Amino acid sequence: MNLLVTGGCGFIGSNYIHYIFSTFNDITVINVDKLTYAGNLLNLQSIEKEYGGKRYFFEHEDIADAEAMRTIFEKYNIDAVVNFAAESHVDRSIDDPTPFITTNVMGTQVLLSAARDAKVERFVHISTDEVYGDLSLDDPAFTEQTPLHPSSPYSASKASADMLAYAFYRTYGYNVSITRCSNNYGPYQFPEKLIPLMFSLASSDKPLPVYGTGMNIRDWIHVSDHCKGVHLTLMKGEAGKAYNFGGNAERTNIDVVRTILRDLGKPEDLITFVKDRPGHDRRYAMNYSLAQKELGYEPEYTFERGIKETLDWYRNNTDWLNDVQSGAYLEFMKKWYGDK
Ligand code: NAD
């Protein structure tokens, strides 16, 4: 199979490409990535070295560029697309929604159109639990029937992309499925997201900014469980359907931060509560029984095992962490959190 993976240099996309090469020997991957601040070729250095030019091809392109996408579909005989490419950080979307609309909405439409024109047989679009909005403490978890009710410019752009995917199925009968998953964690996550951010700040004894009272609840899924879920969807998912994926691990943000501090042997007084994120969702929780029933999905990681392995990975990969924490990263962190 010739598989086009977009956003393959980001956190989940690169983990997915590693998963493909460690599991299958009959899949060729074409990775299309614009290399925004979140895209990092270092994430795939070992893949490039071993499979580059044979079963792995990198194309530095923008999914919102229709001509470039048409050329790529012509150049490679693509059988399927998995679309991870996105602007993915809520805080950045609050700061400036524009690139979120360009990539997440227009980019998804361009890619869907180009894939359909090229008669690509299968398309999986990667979405998020955030499209459902939020839950109160005693609401039941989100199912695929929960109405879309996004809160941030990021989640609104992802919900729009989901609607386009549904429309391509309903209007053209296109073979597209959607995956929606909870908060991912694991290796290669850009250190603006909670776990690597808190790890790196605590490691250098800097204050840890926690929004509001830290009582917001997220469900955490290890990225390797998510990657398996994505692949199951690609192989077995039904056209026109969305599948939820969760990790069975609801935790408050403050719990996660305390776990990191304990692991590092750092004091809790590093925690600094900061003004809450505008429109901050209270709680996300995923009912993933459809994926269990139809795809045979089951998360393998407990949060305790996953967080331990993840923190060990960051501890053992400080070069990677230092490399991404420069330039544009520093500018945004300063603008958003101030000069602490
Ligand atoms: P990320 O920000 O780490 O990576 C995004 C990648 O997409 C980067 O490599 C970037 O260079 C690339 N990209 C951005 N704009 C592009 C464009 N116009 N054309 C081509 N490439 C482009 O994101 P991530 O955390 O890996 O998330 C991947 C997908 O999973 C996203 O669609 C996101 O919405 C979704 N998701 C993420 C999480 C999470 O916890 N990280 C949870 C649910 C869903």
**Is the Cβ–Cβ distance between 155 and 127 less than 8 Å?**
no
Superfamily of domain 2-188+220-249+282-303: NAD(P)-binding Rossmann-like Domain (3.40.50.720)
Say whether 129 is catalytic: yes
Query: Which residue positions in the chain have pLDDT lower than 70?
Result: 326-340
Is 38 near ligand 1, meaning CB less than 6 Å away?
Answer: yes
ipTM of the prediction greater than 0.95, yes or no: yes
The pLDDT of residue 280 is 87
The tokens describing 110, both together, are 């361009």
CA distance 161 to 105: 5
What are the extents of the domains in the chain?
A: 2-188+220-249+282-303
Is 190 near ligand 1, meaning CB less than 6 Å away?
Answer: yes
The pLDDT of residue 328 is 57
The pLDDT of residue 279 is 87
The tokens describing 121, both together, are 């047989």
Instruction: For a ligand 1 pocket test, name from 84, 108, 244, 310 the mutation site with the most ligand atoms within 8 angstroms of its C-beta.
Output: 84
Residue whose C-alpha is closest to residue 263's, from 224, 321, 305, 217? 305
E strand map for the chain: 2-6, 28-32, 56-59, 80-83, 122-128, 176-181, 183-185, 208-211, 217-222, 242-245, 250-252, 271-274
Centroid of chain to Cα 267:
30
Say whether 188 is catalytic: no
Residue whose C-alpha is closest to residue 227's, from 3, 17, 56? 17
Beta bridge partner(s), residue 185: 222
> Which 8-state DSSP code applies to residue 192?
T
Q: Share the mean pLDDT of the chain.
A: 95
The pLDDT of residue 340 is 46
Say whether 154 is catalytic: yes
- Longest Cα–Cα distance of the chain, Å, equals 57
Is 192 near ligand 1, meaning CB less than 6 Å away?
Answer: no
Residue whose C-alpha is closest to residue 303's, from 247, 265, 257, 264? 247
The pLDDT of residue 29 is 98
**Is the Cβ–Cβ distance between 8 and 216 less than 8 Å?**
no
Instruction: For a ligand 1 pocket test, name from 5, 6, 9, 11 the mutation site with the most ligand atoms within 8 angstroms of its C-beta.
Output: 11
Burial annotation 127-156 (CB, 10 A radius, 16+ → b, else e): bbbbbbbbbeeeeebbebebebebbbbbbb
Element spanning 233, H or E = helix 223-236
Centroid of chain to Cα 258:
24
CA distance 136 to 155: 18
Q: Which entry of 33, 61, 87, 129 is annotated as an active-site residue?
A: 129
